[in-house]
Structure 1
Amino acid sequence: MHVVVNAAMSADGKLSSRRREQLAISGEADFERVDRLRAESDAVAVGVGTVLADDPHLTVKDDDLRKRRRNDGRPGNPARIVVDSSGRTPTDAAVLDDAATTYVCLSEAAPVDRRAALADRAELITAGDDRVDLLRAFATLREAGLERIMVEGGGELIFSLFDAGLVDELRVFVGPKVIGGRDAPTLADGDGFVAAFPTLELAAVDRLDAGVLLTWRVEDR
């Protein structure tokens, strides 16, 4: 399995403002790049916080890219993955429509009624007691044939994936905004590392829109 984390952040490392509302940090060229990356992936993953804040669809926007996937014998859109320990994903969330298969990763702590509601709209994967055990969940996803995973956020999920040693590559568009705010989400939130920090190897630097795209590979995996 190859896991690529993709994100757009401000010049000061924020994903959005303290209100956690979606902001346009990048431009059209980066939007097209993200769409191509989705089209190359077997699945696109987000945390439930991103679902609740942004209600993303996580589908390929370009008709030609979807057609190319179908010509290759694949579905028009990659599968979608929501990491949601307690089953908070709304049943009317865009990510649960019929545009693609959706996997919802739950913990044992998810209430039975939430499981029942989500089971009608998604494939459920249970791993972990109080929080999703990402190693076990991603092993199950791999068994389902999902080899190339694109992760689109948010900061809690990204930190947890680094903590679990599951990230292979990090692609970050750094845009020309300063957002600020101690409560604004960053690229990797969660508890943070105090030792054994993940280290990255810079693979590419590309000017894009009014910012820069940084491509990093994870060392010592």
Structure 2
Amino acid sequence: MHVVVNAAMSADGKLSSRRREQVRISGPDDFDRVDRLRAAADAVMVGVGTVLADDPHLTLDVGDRRVQRLRNGRPGNPARVIADSRGRTPADARILDGEAETYVLVAETASAERRRTLREAGANVVVAGDDRVDLGSGLRSLEAAGIDRLMVEGGGELIFSLFAADLVDELSVYVGPVVIGGRDAPTLADGEGFVDEFPRLSLTGVERVDDGVLLRYATGE
């Protein structure tokens, strides 16, 4: 599986404010770029924190891209994936609206009731891991289901965990012309943080987009 992480952050490296509320960081050109990335992916993944904070839809914005996918024998929208150890995704979340296949990765700690509720809401529930989602196991299950290219849109906890598990192949970061600040505001890679053996990136592209800059990296030396 090829994993592409894509995120937009402020000039000071924040994904949103300390209130975990969505902040407009990028502009129309970057929104279109993200839509193109989604159209090229087999599935789009977020963490449950993003679902609870933003209630994202994660479908394509441009109808012609859905049509092109259908012409190519693919679903109109990429599948959607949620990393949700305890199964906290609300049954009425937009990501479970039936517009695309949706997978919820849970751990053994997710109760049978929560798993049943998610299945009744239309989700494919994948159990991977004991206390927390084992991302390696979860992604292998997704790959077995036919997902070869996975786009990850956040949040910071999920992105950190993917880097920690050495599962990221590419990183695209849009740096917007805004300062958010706050020691408690989420960053690109939250979680415990690295203290040694820091993941190394190779810069593969720099591009001005809207009033910000897009940085593209490949993982490895």
- C-alpha distance in 1 between matches for 2:210 and 2:72: 31
Given the two structures, how large is their TM-score scaled by the length of structure 1? 0.99
Q: 2:25 aligns to what?
A: 25
- 5+ unaligned residues in a row in structure 2: which ranges? none
Name the residue aligned to 1:218: 219
Structure 1 equivalent of residue 200 of structure 2: 199
Task: Provide the C-alpha distance between the structure 2 equivalents of 1:26 and 1:4, rounded to a whole number of angstroms.
Answer: 19
Show the counterpart of 2:183: 182
Equivalent residue, structure 2, for 1:59: 59
Q: Counterparts in 2 of 1:1-221, with a 5 A limit?
A: 1-120=1-120, 121-219=122-220
- Which amino acid in the other structure matches residue 76 of structure 2? G
Aligned-partner residue type, residue 52 of structure 2: L
Per-residue deviation, residues 175-199 of structure 1 (Å, max 9, x unmatched):
0001100000000000000111100
Residue type of the alignment partner of 2:23: L
Aligned Cα root-mean-square deviation (Å): 0.5
| Amino-acid identity (%) | 65
TM-score, normalising length: structure 2: 0.99
Q: What's the CA shift string for 1:83-123, capped at 9, x where partnerless? A: 00000000000000110000000000001110110012100
C-alpha distance in 2, partners of 1:73/1:195? 45
Q: How far apart, CA to CA, are the structure 1 residues paired with 2:45 and 2:72? A: 22
Give CA deviations for 1:129-180 in whole Å, capped at 9, x if unaligned: 1000000000000000000000000000000000001000000000000110
Gap regions ≥5 residues in structure 1: none
- Secondary structure of the 2:65 match is helix
